[in-house]
Amino acid sequence: MHGELSRRTLLASGLAAAAVRRSVGQSDEAGHPPRVGVIGLGNRSGRHLHALGELREVEVVALSDIQSDRMRAARQGPAANAEMYTDYRELIADSRVQAVTVATPNNLHAEMAIAALRAGKDVLLEKPIGLNYEEALAVAAAARETGRTLAIGMQRYFKVAYRKIIEAVNSGAIGTPYLFSLNEYRGDWNPRTWRWPDPQTGKTTPWRHLRAMAGSSLLEFSVHSYALLYEMIGQPLTFCAATGGAVHWPERSTEDNISVIAEFGDIRLQHTYSGSAPGAEWAMTITGSKGSLQYDFRTATIRAIGSEPQELDLGPARREGFSMEAEMYRDFFSAIRRGAEPALNAQFAIEASKIAYAAWTSIDERRIVTDKDYP
């Protein structure tokens, strides 16, 4: 069934799903946020709990993790009185829980999100929406069929600097963009991340080092940048060729160095990712018919042809004093109240993630991937 779902099907069903949401939204009549349950209490959960603490009247009524010590440590702030469950299915069955946050390793995202949606809960699912394209479509279908609100945790959408860059490009400051170049360099993954214990050997491995749990590094890390690019490109992926592998750490199954070339109609993207180059320069350059815009994650410069370079005002670090994660939850709760799609809806997440899915296929199968791979 999953393979039969398409972008057209998901888009066509949007109005019907919104109508269902209007009739079953779980915010109360006073507009208070829903009661939240959080599944997965690793490193990322701290940002979620802190963000929920930034918002007034939010109550985290349940926590779930396979490690009880993590649940006990998380019982503070908005989660001070939360019930604790080592089995996530018990949290989903808790009638007090109205909305569920899923912040587990990536291979569990689809299973847990679908279960929560089918149990009648609204869901904020950490990115990625699925470990592969088929999982992503299945999660989106579950939200559509149940009429629940689904948001994907791609919080950088709310980064003020990102909004300023999108505004500058859309204003025509560099003309019509036709080439996007992205260089992402970083160091290794957080060594304190949860380690998966191999039941046969007893060896423990950070879950992000394992393809079966994390997917590709592009899906775990670069998808934030892909979301920014997708907003400016505004066209679906039509071509992708990629190469890469576990070059620096060959004992791992996730790639640490990757190069991607992609097309979106008449717009081109070239992307280089390295997870073994700490301190190297991160940069995005957008070239258009009237000039270029370069962003290094700290400053942005517009270089219009025939004019002096102009520094772009990237605004404050926070909008209205809220963190990006808090902004994400504000939008999520607002969508629940209004019976509307959140900004970080399933289709947005799928289109942004599609570059990572295509690159993974291109590397594995040594072939060009096109839009025919994503009917």
State residue 24's pLDDT score: 38
Reduce the DSSP state of residue 278 to 3 states and report it.
Answer: coil
Q: What is the pLDDT along the chain (375 residues), one digit of tens a residue?
A: 333 334 333 334 443 444 334 333 455 445 678 999 999 999 899 999 999 999 988 999 999 999 999 999 999 999 999 999 999 999 999 999 999 999 999 999 999 999 999 999 999 999 999 999 999 999 999 999 999 999 999 999 999 999 999 999 999 999 999 999 999 999 999 888 899 998 888 899 999 999 999 999 999 999 999 999 999 999 999 999 999 999 999 999 999 999 999 999 999 999 999 999 999 999 999 999 999 999 999 999 999 999 999 999 999 888 888 999 999 999 999 999 999 999 999 999 999 999 999 999 999 999 999 999 998
State residue 200's pLDDT score: 85
What CATH architecture is 158-318+355-373? 2-Layer Sandwich (3.30)
State residue 275's pLDDT score: 96
> Using alpha carbons only, how large is the chain's radius of gyration in Å?
21
Amino acid in the structure at residue 222: S
Please tell me whether the overall predicted TM-score, pTM, comes out greater than 0.85 for this model: yes
Give bridge partners of residue 262 from the DSSP assignment. Answer: 240, 269
Sequence-ordered list of residues with C-beta below 8 angstroms from that of 16, at least 6 positions apart, any chain: 144
State residue 30's pLDDT score: 52
Residue showing tokens 């907003």: 231
Q: Looking at 96-146, which runs of residues are DSSP E strands?
A: 99-102, 122-126
Query: Are β-strands 204-206 and 99-102 bridged in parallel, bridged antiparallel, or unpaired?
Result: unpaired
Amino acid in the structure at residue 249: W
State residue 26's pLDDT score: 52
State residue 319's pLDDT score: 82
Where exactly are the structural domains of the chain?
2-154+323-343, 158-318+355-373
Let me know if 117 is exposed, middle or buried by CB neighbors in 10 A (0-12, 13-18, 19+): buried
CATH class of the domain whose range is 2-154+323-343: alpha beta
